[in-house]
Structure 1
Amino acid sequence: MNFFSSDFKLGILGGGQLGKMLLYNTRKFDINTSVMDSSNEAPCKIACNEFTLGDLMDYEAVYNFGKKVDVLTIEIENVNVDALETLEKEGIKVYPASKTLRTIQNKAKQKLFYVDNDIPTAPFSRFAYTSEIKESINHGGLSLPFVWKSAQFGYDGQGVKIVRTIADLDGLPNVECIVENLVPFKNELAVIVARNASGDIKSYPVVEMEFHPEANQVEYVICPARIDNAVTNKAKAVALKVSEAFNHVGLLAVEMFQTKDDQILVNEVAPRPHNSGHQTIEASYTSQFEQHIRAILNLPLGRTDSKVGGVMVNLVGAEGFTGNVVYKNIETIMEMDGVTPHIYGKKQTRPFRKMGHVTIVNEDLDEARRVAEAVKKSIKVISE
């Protein structure tokens, strides 16, 4: 099939920043794109060929959108899987597959998938409702502390809470959930695996992630991870095993814990471009976004190693500010060597909302991390 400068149409469900960065590459290749999102101000709207306003969880909206494209992909997991399944039966190519998404959308099903496929993960318990947890603690079935996770619709740090006392359960939504053992870990790592429909597989270098202690969002991504070769090889092997188990097409970001005794435990996965791969735009031979396009169109996969060390800094809305966004001191960071800001196109900021990211590249990874700290201290995402 001719994808380039043709009538071929790629559909993307979700119009946020990940979709916008996918569109950098569809425009480079002159691939016709159609995007659906629930917001008329979605960042993707300015860069796609066609834009449709629609609810991603609505069966009819997703089905009717998908019927009009040749290949359908996502930039967010919260989409109507039943509609995707129907489209697959009618011959539309959907990547990731509805079967994969159905498992990943629900954290309880995702954890059971790891157990069934002998993939190392933290011990856990399932609950139909959060209210059942206190009873389990009182009867000795659970011991504190642990991590509470909503089974569905958790995103960007939402739907996750470390529970150290019974009082920490107060105010949590009474929904299906899982409780995980609190893993003592050295590092949080991630590996992005790319696979096309022909079965060709490539993986990116292991990255190290540093999280904001309150928002539970990634603050820094450091590539390559500052770990020894044995741990690197173990993390890559686990990521490839996860990829093989899902038999996915496209990108699969595998988030992992490196425990105190250097074991690797899978935390969760995302079947799409991911925050842990943003630095690939400047630092890698092939960005994760171009690689996703290559994979879902069954094109040859690009080179995944890094040209240079890279650190990514997330730009999120500052606490205490809501309204029309202002990027304070952005000129200051643009004066720094090797610094590239990416602004996502969201006009309104609020505390901890992802508004952009900054990549710092340098042959010396320690220097890149130092500059990243300076960037974090300089630029502020505030409101007018």
Structure 2
Amino acid sequence: MAKIFNTQTKIGVLGGGQLGRMLHQSAINLNLDLRMMDPAANAPCASLIKRFTVGDLENYDDVYNFGRECDLLTIEIEKVNIEALKKLQSEGVKVFPQPEIIEIIQDKRVQKQFYQDNDIPTAPFVLTENLEELKQHKEKLPAVHKVGKGGYDGRGVQMIRSEADIEKGFDAPALLENLIPFKKELAVIVARNESGEIDAFPPVEMVFHPEHNLVEYLLSPAVISKEQKEKAIRVAKDVIEKLGMVGILAVEMFLTKDDEILVNEVAPRPHNSGHQSIEGNFTSQYDQHLRAILDLPLGNTDIKIASAMVNLLGEDGYTGEAQYEGMQEIMRINGVHVHLYGKATTKPFRKMGHITITDPNLESLRIKIHQVKEMIKVKA
């Protein structure tokens, strides 16, 4: 007997930022009416969603009361109240990704231990409880110190190159990870539905801002060998399978100088490293996330056309009502697709949008990336 697809399923999303905004755009195509909760009354989704609730995502009562009105609950940010999600799950609300998996991922220390325990390749590390313990591991320097909980978008990560940098470390539970000499930073978006079907998008290559640890732009497909691509996809599929997760998982990786693939960290939701899939792939990461959590067949992840994604960050030195300089110029460039996130105010390095650039030729694509980066500025 054929499964029935019910467009009246009450789907709740914890978070109403730019990821929720793009997920909503995919949901419209399936005539799904998402409901969202976000702590900000002026969040990017607030004016778009009929059932928008202002609430604290880390507060038990707020999450529980929002979720009990839903058939299915998902997230666009990991900082959510796990106990409320577990209670909702026990009462019959489907929660994807599952609360126990979000709990693992919320704490980088637990996440890294999971990789080690499950033979998932990752950089060697030690756990530190405070700054005093960090001082006992001078022999591991240079290394990267990562706070266990609360780090986000580059915050909570500190390079400890020498003994002189130790005071920059975290006086809190953290992990000290070997500094890996890598050739490239890659990401693979992988999805798994409730029936256990798994599929992965081709790897993308990420280029980070030298100071702010945010993705500045990415290339799809990554410029790597066939063997490296297959290995990256194999590792990503292994991670989601061992987690048993339902939904979409962004797996960030290092390609080492010895051509090994090491998992850096993961995000159990649509991710910055999959934005270009809206224009560049046959199925977008947002379409795929909905397919996965609704137990629909997963979509074709193949690349339609080479693409790049440039993050649109607020310019340093500008805070206030956002103004976009250079929009006329970039929209004259063939293959440019602008996505603004609906944030009224800008501040330095705030994610205000992204620009996807498509071009069948990798060299002309790179030229367009640099043109766009030079032309477009978010000021106030």
TM over 0.5: yes
RMSD of the TM alignment (CA)? 1.1
Task: Please point out which of 218, 227, 230 is paired with 1:230.
Answer: 227
Q: Is the 8 A contact 1:146 1:179 kept in 2?
A: yes
Partner SS state of residue 188, structure 1 = strand
Counterpart of 2:171?
174
Query: What letter is aligned with 1:380?
Result: K
Aligned residues of 1:124 and 1:181 also touching (Cα < 8 A) = yes
Name the counterpart of 2:323: 326
Letter matched to residue 134 of structure 1: K
Match of 1:185 in 2: 182
**Could you tell me which of 269, 281, 285 is aligned with 1:284?**
281
**Matches of residues 227-376 of structure 1 in structure 2 within 5 Å?**
227-376=224-373
CA contact (8 A) 1:340 1:360 kept: yes
Counterpart mapping for 1:120-199 below 5 A: 120-137=121-138, 142-199=139-196
Q: Which residue number corresponds to residue 88 of structure 2?
A: 87
Aligned to 1:117: 118
**1:214 partnered with 2:211:** yes
Structure 1: distance between partners of 2:137 and 2:304: 51
Alpha-carbon distance in structure 2 between the residues aligned to 1:238 and 1:136: 30
The alpha-carbon deviation at position 172 of structure 1 amounts to 4.6
Instruction: Please report the TM-score for the alignment, with normalisation by the length of structure 2.
Output: 0.97
- Which residue in 1 is equivalent to 2:25? 24
Matched residue SS, 1:109: helix
Correspondence list, 1:87-106, <5 A: 87-106=88-107
Q: Is the 8 A contact 1:130 1:177 kept in 2?
A: no
- 1:84-105 Cα shifts (integer Å, max 9, x gaps): 1111111100000011001000
Over 3 Å counting, the alpha-carbon distance change for 1:244 and 1:264 in structure 2 is same
1:3 maps to 2:20: no
Shift of 1:184: 0.2
- How many angstroms does 1:132 deviate by? 2.2
- What are the superposed Cα offsets for residues 122-155 of structure 1, whole Å, 9 maximum, x if unpaired? 0011111234212443xxxx33211011111111
1:255 counterpart SS class:
strand
Residues 14-38 of structure 1: CA deviation (Å, up to 9, x unaligned):
0110000000011222112110000
Partners of 1:170 and 1:195 lie apart in 2 by 42
**Contact kept in structure 1, 2:199 and 2:237, CA below 8 Å:** no
User: Do the aligned residues in 2 keep the contact of 1:63 with 1:83 (CA within 8 Å)?
Assistant: yes
SS of equivalent residue, structure 2 residue 45: helix
Q: Is the 8 A contact 2:219 2:309 kept in 1?
A: yes
**AA in 2 matched with 1:183:** I
Q: In structure 2, the residue corresponding to 1:40 is in which secondary structure?
A: coil
Q: Equivalent residue of 1:233, what SS?
A: helix
Provide Cα deviations, 1:206-249, integer angstroms capped at 9, x if missing partner.
11100011000101110100001111111111111111111111
Name the amino acid aligned to 1:155. Y
Name stretches of at least 5 consecutive residues in structure 2 with no aligned partner.
none
Distance 2:53 2:166 in 1: 40
Structure 2: distance between partners of 1:143 and 1:102? 28
- AA paired with 1:112? Q
TM-score normalised over the length of structure 1:
0.96
CA contact (8 A) 1:308 1:361 kept: yes
TM-aligned CA deviation for residue 171 of structure 1: 4.9
Pairs aligned (count): 377
Identity %: 51
